[in-house]
Homo-oligomer: A and B are copies of this chain.
Amino acid sequence: ISSLYSKLCKFMKKAWEIGVNDPRKFIHCLKVGIALTAVSLFYYLNPLYDGVGRNAMWAVMTVVVVFEYTAGSTIYKSVNRICGTTLAGLLAFGVQWVASKAGKQLEPVIVGVLLFLLGSAATFSRFIPTIKARFDYGVLIFILTFSLVSISGYRIDELFDMAQQRISTIIIGTSLCIIVSMIIRPVWAGLELYVLVTGNLDKLANSLEGCVAQYFEAQSTSEESNKKLMDYKCVLNSKATEVSMANLARWEPAHGRFNFRHPWKQYLEIGATMRRCASCIDALVGCINSENKSSDEIKKIMSTTSMKVGANSASVLRELSITINNMTKSKKLDSLVKEMNIATQELQNLLKSYSNTHNVNAKETSSLGDAKMEIPIMEVIQVVTVISLLIETVARVEDIVKS
């Protein structure tokens, strides 16, 4: 029992930490509680209850199902729910009307067949990528409402009243959700995406600088710096989050410095180039940790220039992050890119001259070490060239983003 208790304690502690690390999660929970309590008033207060009747249940249900963490997600689900319900309701009425003309015997057959066909077709449409990205929930609600209305039409007579009431309660529920999620400390998917992207740029810069520094200065690898070094791994795995955020951000109204038609897709492009950059850093780290150690001599020679290249690329990445932050094209960026390119060129020149001088000395020093020695620096160059290529792409994207 005591082990169970300690496990429980651990679990609670962990859960508490999640909340403390991101207080907005606590706030979100409170918001859900507020929305739920508010909607329950429709059931408890007599004047409100008389208006909607027992269908107030549907408002409660809507709140539970629709309320999501980000405002964009809530709006997406609300709009989808309302549209899906209305569309399916109208269609179901049409079907019901046609079927009722055919007589009580044939009615279930007609409705059943149509249900089968429409259900299959709607399910299939959920596999189509564009629909899946924007209207997945709406189609689900469409199937749900259509089957409920068309089936219950067989037993219930005042179908129209019921449907009308249900739609109005759903509208009440969704508008309550939208209001609560947008007024009380809103969490915007767009802002999240934007923080994620700029944060990732900074992380890349840290990793890049860190791993170059670690290699050339042979720093004692403190835990903190090691942790920073591994930051790039987050960047590699952030694709799914970015895509869903961008999808949701599209539903959000103008907020803060973001317009309604903010170019969210460009964040995805930046994200993709960042991921390419991260995979380069991954290769670089693998190279640093590989068994082929180079001699200290060559390290010393290359160290200053390589560090410079690393630092320059990192500062370009940081400047990019600031640029996106300000949403204006900074003049500093161009000069930084130039500086970085110069540093890269320098490193290449150094390498060339080194291999010149080294070749002369080759017969003296063991040239066996030579092959191994150059690998990491070659790798650095390779990474740097890819990065400079990449930064050009990002800079191009920047031209469009400025607004």
Using a CB–CB cutoff of 8 Å, the interface residues on chain A facing chain B are 14-15, 18-19, 25-26, 28-30, 32-34, 36-37, 40, 43-44, 49, 54, 57, 60-61, 64-65, 108, 111-112, 115-117, 119-121, 123-125, 127-128, 140, 143-144, 147-148, 151-152, 154-155, 236-237, 239-240, 275-276, 278-280, 282-283, 286-287, 290-292, 348, 351-352, 355-356, 359-360, 362-363, 367-368, 370-371, 374-375, 378-379, 381-383, 385-386, 389
Contacts and interface: CB of A to CB of B under 8 A. Distances in A.
Contacts of A151: 40, 43-44, 57, 60
A91 B44 CA distance: 20
Contact of A290 (B19, B367, B382): B382
A51 to B, nearest CB: 14
A362 B57 CA distance: 85
A93 to B, nearest CB: 17
Contacts of A152: 43, 54, 57
A58 B382 CA distance: 61
A282 B275 CA distance: 11
Nearest to A36: B119
Nearest to A351: B371
Rank and list the top 6 A-B pairs by shortest CB-CB distance, nearest first: A279-B279, A359-B362, A240-B240, A33-B120, A283-B283, A33-B116
Q: How many copies does the complex hold?
A: 2
A148 B60 contact: yes
Contacts of A360: 362-363
Contacts of A154: 43-44
B367 A356 contact: yes
Contacts of A351: 371
Nearest to A26: B124
A34 B352 CA distance: 71
A152 B56 CA distance: 9
Contacts of A65: 140, 144
Contacts of A348: 371
Nearest to A243: B240
B290 A123 contact: no
Output the residue of A15, A128, A280 with the most chain B CB within 10 A: A15
